[in-house]
Structure 1
Amino acid sequence: MTTSTYHGIYAVVSRIPRGKVATYGQVALLANLPGRARLVGYALSALTDPSVPCHRVINAKGEISRRNGGSEADEVQRHRLEVEGVFFDSHGRIPLELFRWRLYADE
């Protein structure tokens, strides 16, 4: 994958406002990569720029995607979202109807 593809993904993620989340698939669509949600995950795992709010990207179920190897990154991501006012239900899911980022009013 080209560096420009990853930069396009990072540009979309950078636009997600504080207190909102977007799914991997939503980011892929907005980056003109429909159906490439997994690629978004790869791009975010390669990210080294801490100014890109990658903690705001979650899976389509409204959950934080678990990392391999027992990383504490899942808890860090949850904490960062909670600090921004995002809450989780009793199943560990974010209510997307409340917190999903809507770039366009008709989404």
Structure 2
Amino acid sequence: MDIDKETLIFTVIGSIPAGSVASYGQVAALAGYPQNSRLVGRLLKMMPKDSSIPWHRVVNSQGKISFPEGSDKYQEQREKLLSEGISFKSDKVNIKLHRWI
């Protein structure tokens, strides 16, 4: 994997402010790699558990958490987002209010 690509993607994720979310595709595009949203997901999956990168601020394009609903990781991500003031409509982040622009 291209280390520069990985660094750029993690830099974009690290730039998402508390109280905001970005989609996988948005992160890829901002890093200069449009059409690479799956790569963003793979990198997040491989990220060390002790990383300080705010992985929880990345959701899918519909505003949904990508982990299976009810799983421990789903609950962890939802709780982290709620603690930052992110609001949900049912099982989706309110993208109109919280999308990072």
Question: What's the TM-score, normalizing by structure 2?
Answer: 0.92
Identity of aligned residues (%): 43
**Stretches of 4+ aligned residues off by more than 3 angstroms:** none
Partners in 1 of 2:5 and 2:24 — Cα distance? 14
Partner of 1:99: 98
Whichever structure has more strand as a proportion of its residues is 2
2:82 counterpart letter in structure 1: E
Whichever structure has more helix as a proportion of its residues is 2
Task: Give me the CA root mean square deviation.
Answer: 1.4
Partner of 2:64: 63
Q: Is 1:46 aligned to 2:46, yes or no?
A: yes
Partner of 2:37: 37
Query: Residue deviations 1:52-77, cap 9 Å, x none?
Result: 0010000000000025xx84111100
Unpaired runs of at least 5, structure 1: 103-107
Question: What's the TM-score, normalizing by structure 1?
Answer: 0.87
Partners in 2 of 1:50 and 1:79 — Cα distance? 18
Give the C-alpha shift of residue 3 in structure 1. Answer: 2.3
Using the TM superposition, name which of 2-11 and 77-86 deviates more: 2-11
Partner of 2:27: 27
Unpaired runs of at least 5, structure 2: none
Partners in 2 of 1:88 and 1:33 — Cα distance? 28
